[in-house]
Each structure stands twice: as structure tokens, then as C-alpha cells.
Amino acid sequence: MTDATTATAPWLVAGLGNPGPEYAGNRHNAGFMVADLLAARMGGRFKAAGRSARAQVCEGRLGVPGSASARRVVLVKPMTYMNLSGGPVSAISGYLKIPLERIVVIHDELDIPFGALRLKRGGGDNGHNGLKSVTGALGRDYLRVRFGVGRPPGRMEVAAYVLKDFSAAERKELDYLVDRAADAVETLIGSGLERAQNTYNT
């Protein structure tokens, strides 16, 4: 893809999670929560991308309406369950010819304390099945917005922990943290990774 084409391509922002109301409040669905808020900010709603894509999408602009900083964005929520997230992200980015440097994945992160946020480009999957699937489909050099959920207490299994809802204490802060993560995505696509890292990495 030429630099000129890259410059005019939209951004693809994928929030990772599991579909269905029984998973909606889970720690593993932090990516969906941030994507839903971004859709609301764009004044749009998620709708099915088509049976073959196995995802919900919302298209619009993020940033100050009508300003030069507003960016074309395609929000994606894979509907395949977490461990197959890469297929829908790859299918939609390929169809829309979105370069890897404009793909952002929002996901829960065990190795970051609850309440903390980190942004980076590339890296491993750290045992996260959604990231493993996306990396298998795209390569590893996409952008990540990592939403800290902390490690499970005691001997609780990781799978059980991430598939539990945020605790009552955590829910008191959750709306603020989701809002902050959405702000970080907007800064990332509007002002670049370094600016977003300097502002939001904790």
C-alpha cells in the first residue's frame, strides 16, 4: 500500500470480548465496553457486518466534528468468541484495505493492575487467546490499548477470573476507566502513539 493510500485509509479499532448477555460484564469484555462507548461518541450503533465477517461494526468519525483532527474509524466487535477474534479483524481490515499501522486492538490485560492503562505497538500475547488469534491473522505489529484487570486472587484459575464480572468495588470505578480508555483511543488515532503513551500510560 502506498503512503498516499495509507494516509487516506480509515482506522480500524477492534474491541475484544465474548458475545452474549451472560458475558457482558466480564473482565474479558473490557474491549467491548470501550468499543461501545466509542460508538456512542460517534453517534453510531453496531450492526452486523455480514455472515462471512462474523462481527459487528460501527463506522463514523472520532474527534471534534468537522475539524481536521476528526478521523474516519471503523469499530469492530468480533462475534466469534475471544479465541477466534483474528478472523473477523483480518477479514474486515483486508476488505477495507486498512494497513497494520492503523489497526488498534483494545483488550483486558492481566499483568496490569486494575485501574491502569498502557498503550503500545507490537509484542507478545501473554497467554491472551484473543491476542493470539489476532496476531496469528495479522502479525504482531498492531497497536494495543491494554486495559488492566490485575491478576486473579489466591489460586483462582485465570480463565475463571477473566470470565467473572468486575467486582462491586471495581464497578464503582469502571465507568470512569472505560471513559479514560476511550479517551486514550481518540488520542492515539488523533495525535499518535507517543502522545497517547505520555498522557495515559500508568
Contacts of 116 (CB under 8 A, 6+ apart): 148, 202
Indicate which residue of 13, 15, 28, 142 is catalytic.
28
C-alpha Rg value of the chain to the nearest Å: 16
Q: Is 128 a catalytic residue?
A: no
Write out the three cell numbers for 126: 501473554
Q: Cα–Cα distance between 174 and 185 in angstroms, integer?
A: 17
CB 140 within 8 A of CB 124: yes
Residue 9 is placed in which grid cell? 485509509
List the grid coordinates of 8. 487516506
Report yes or no: 130 and 107 within 8 Å, Cβ to Cβ: yes
**Closest Cα to residue 82, out of 163, 11, 147, 177?**
163
Write out the three cell numbers for 139.
502479525
119 forms bridges with which residues in the sheet?
145
Taking the C-alpha atoms of residue 96 and residue 120, their distance in angstroms, rounded to an integer, is: 23
Distance CA 52, CA 182 (A): 28
Cell of 198: 505520555
Residue numbers annotated as active site: 28
